[in-house]
Amino acid sequence: MAKKILVVDDDPVVVRYVVQVLEDSGYETCTASDGMAAYEVLEKEKPDLISLDLEMPEEWGTRFYRRFSKDPNFKDTPVIVLSGLASRHLSIKKAVAFLSKPFDPEKLVAEVKKAIGEP
């Protein structure tokens, strides 16, 4: 069974691109356009990893992370930050990787494999 990745980003073009890269590499995906929607998807889909943008309307990625990481069911879910914000210090300290947009798709897949293994 393929590992599932939740892609959280407010830019539909980025979401389509990340989903395509991940699905081409054998992963299942689910998506959300902000942190508020992401929490609902997280509870329903129970992904193995989260790809998370930081700057989004409604609820930023950092706030979403703080909220879900307190939940015992999800606190160990690895996160890869994909962000256009230049400063890594604005990121999530416990993220398994930080990739700046635009990012290399091969680097994304390599970080996913490192975090959750081969599909």
pLDDT in 10s for each residue of the chain, 119 residues? 799 999 999 999 999 999 999 999 999 999 999 888 999 999 999 999 999 998 888 888 888 999 999 999 999 999 999 988 756 555 687 899 999 899 999 999 999 999 997 75
Side-by-side strand order, sheet with 4-8: 28-32, 4-8, 49-52, 79-83, 97-100
At 109, which amino acid appears? V
- Report pLDDT digits (tens) over 59-88: 888 889 999 999 999 999 999 999 887 565
User: Which residues, 6 or more positions from 11, have their beta carbon under 8 angstroms from its beta carbon?
Assistant: 53
pTM score, whole prediction? 0.93
**Domains, the chain:** 4-114 (3.40.50.2300)
